[in-house]
Chains A and B, each alone.
Chain A
Amino acid sequence: MAQPGKGLIEVRDFGLRYETMEGSVEAVTNVSLIVRPGEFVSVIGPSGCGKSTMLNALAGFLTPSNGSVTVDGEAITGPSPDRGMIFQQYSLFPWKTVRENVEFGMKMKGMSASKRHQAARTLLGLAGLLPFENHYPDRLSGGMKQRVGIVRALATSPRILLLDEPFGALDAQTRLIMQQILTNMWQRLKISVLFVTHDIDEAIFLSDRIYVMTARPGTIKAEIEVPLPRPRLPAMALSSEFLALRRGLMSLIREESIRAMGGEVSADAMKGLAIDLEGLELAEVL
């Protein structure tokens, strides 16, 4: 089943602890997941559940305290251009033009200047960014910066692409467009994608499968198939299947978000509060 060199991501019993004066704290525990070659998989969970931690281990920035993280059967020992990564923060180099940014990975591989110049221009042309090749990132909009970031990550022909809430800082309209651009690129390149997000609609719209994580210590709570046909169109967001998936995921996430915030606010507690703050009618406002 596993095709070597094709981008099979396997995470087994992954755990990460860190030491504090109070003892060791478990950030992530017992996470097992798989992304098959060419598959688009999302991980969704409340903030602080360790989904980014797991992505960082896959990128090679963290060593797991427990379990194993492999790509095509090989253990990860450090960052590599085989595993492209897109960050939530814009991570273009401000001192490089758009084209120089895209060329960076090829430059690190030792490709000649004229060759990588040509390759970068071809890629930018495909992404519709050629008119901006000599601009500094400073002058681009947020959506454009992330598009350049994706092109830059893909320029080294990685086997897998890791995305850490890449569209979190974008406005709703730009976000939809970016999701479609990402889907198109993924379908054309047949690359394995692991996408971390806290946006339910985004996860459904993009993914073949979705893993739901629990609040800290993070672990996998559920695995959900997304049977929607492709190409996915924005209109599908109103279909009954989409809505059913959404409802299911919502209730799973809601429980965890409440846990992450420190438990449900009980009605009794609210009553007490309302008496303490007489006249404010806080209970009604809330």
Chain B
Amino acid sequence: MESLALRHATEPHEMPALQEQALLDPATVGTPAFQAQAGRWLRLHRSGLRAALLGLVSLVFFVGLWQVLTANRINLYVRFMNVPSPEQVLERARIALHSASFGSHVLMSCRRILFGFLLASAVAIPLGLLMGRFRVLREIVFPVSEVLRPIPAIAWVPMAIMLWPTNEESILFITFLGSFFPILINTLHGMASVDPVLVRAARCLGAREAAVFREVYLPASLPQIFTGLTIGMGVAWVSLIAAEMISGQFGIGYFTWEAYSLVQYADIALGMLTIGVLGLASSWAIRLVGYFIMPWSSAR
């Protein structure tokens, strides 16, 4: 804690945060000093404010366009007659949020993502690190991985059904495969781009093999590993939804496909939006973990 206190005392960059707090003090509101501070805050955060404002405007515009196209049942080769309007989807969402089955579909998909993705990370990261460190291993594994990598996870569905005794396992397997290769390849890239000077510096300071691996190779590869995790998470969702649509019994992908079969058009859009939100939330979660694990790169 002592070091933290010192950091605050010596870091000029901490100042704006303190001033922001002063801004919220009701006693100072309205004074010239307050106005000067507010003006400064606006100037310093101008680009961030603009981005937030434009983002909001663009979202509102998107929903507005959707409303116009569907309410007027536009038919311009692309047909919007059967597409549900935002209102209808909102109505379905309200019902779905109160039903147990929708919640269990969402939970099921999240569980599959979590298991498949964590399993893929647990295998791909250590494998990538070892392949990056030991050339022989890389030369053995790389050719096989290069042949398997371009095969989309969806193409694995029939094979997965044959390989695994239960449906659940084959869906997990497909999710695993989807995220496995992006994580592996990015870990390898991370290992290849480690600055050799840092390795030599560590050796000069007395680091042996294990210490060089732990203190240099691993942290140096982390940013690239996290890039792999973010991409892997995206592909995991793609693969999971496809697998659920083809062979699932539960899950948000199954929900979306079932809605089509049952002519519940509003539920199709609801399923899609849910997938979008879940995908966004999971990539935010990865970014958040990265932020805490790599404070040096977020300080930039």
Contact = CB atoms under 8 A, between A and B. Distances in A.
Interface string A66-91: 00000000000011110111010101
B198 interface: yes
A59 interface: yes
Interface of B: 3, 6-7, 10, 195, 197-198, 200-208, 211, 215-216, 219-220, 222, 294-297, 299-300
B205 A138 contact: no
B296 A133 contact: no
A138 B299 CA distance: 9
A205 to B, nearest CB: 26
A171 B28 CA distance: 46
A81 B204 contact: yes
Given A89-B197, A108-B211, A134-B6, A95 B296 contact: yes
Contacts of B202: 93, 104
B296 A138 contact: yes
Nearest to B205: A105
B201 A91 contact: yes
Given A91-B201, A134-B3, 15 more contacts: A60-B203, A61-B200, A78-B203, A81-B206, A83-B204, A95-B219, A104-B207, A108-B205, A133-B6, A134-B6, A136-B295, A136-B299, A138-B299, A153-B204, A156-B205
22 contacts: A60-B203, A61-B203, A78-B203, A79-B200, A79-B206, A85-B204, A91-B200, A93-B202, A93-B215, A94-B296, A95-B219, A104-B215, A108-B208, A108-B211, A132-B10, A133-B3, A133-B6, A134-B3, A134-B6, A152-B205, A156-B205, A156-B206
Given A91-B198, A93-B198, A80 B206 contact: yes
A278 B6 CA distance: 69
Contacts of B219: 93, 95
A109 B3 contact: no
B210 to A, nearest CB: 11
A87 B203 CA distance: 13
Contacts of B198: 91, 93
Contacts of B220: 94-95
Interface string A95-107: 1100000001100
B206 A134 contact: no
A148 to B, nearest CB: 12
B147 to A, nearest CB: 32
Given A80-B206, A134-B7, A139 B299 contact: yes
Contacts of A96: 296
Report which residue of B206, B222, B299 has the largest number of chain A beta carbons within 10 angstroms of its beta carbon.
B206
B220 to A, nearest CB: 7
A272 B200 CA distance: 49
Interface of A: 59-61, 78-81, 83-85, 87, 89, 91, 93-96, 104-105, 108-109, 131-134, 136, 138-139, 152-153, 156
Nearest to A97: B296
Contacts of A133: 3, 6
Contact of A81 (B10, B205, B222, B297): B205
A134 B208 CA distance: 26
A80 B206 CA distance: 5
Nearest to A91: B201
A87 B296 contact: no
B213 to A, nearest CB: 13
Contact of B201 (A60, A85, A156): A85
B294 A95 contact: yes
Contacts of B215: 93, 104
Contacts of B7: 134
Nearest to B203: A79
Given A87-B197, A95-B294, A133-B6, A138 B204 contact: no
Contacts of B205: 81, 104-105, 108, 152-153, 156
Contacts of A60: 203
A268 B91 CA distance: 90
A195 to B, nearest CB: 16
Contacts of B222: 95
A132 B12 CA distance: 12
A138 B300 contact: yes
A108 B204 contact: no
B6 A91 contact: no
A98 to B, nearest CB: 11
A59 B299 contact: no
A96 B214 CA distance: 13
A93 B206 contact: no
B206 A108 contact: yes
B206 A91 contact: no
A273 B185 CA distance: 52
Contacts of B6: 133-134
A159 to B, nearest CB: 13
Nearest to B299: A136
A87 B299 contact: no
B258 to A, nearest CB: 48
A230 B6 CA distance: 38
A231 B85 CA distance: 84
B207 A108 contact: yes
A87 B211 contact: no
A131 B11 CA distance: 9
The winner among B7, B222, B296 for most chain A CB atoms within 10 A is B296
Contacts of B201: 85, 87, 91, 93
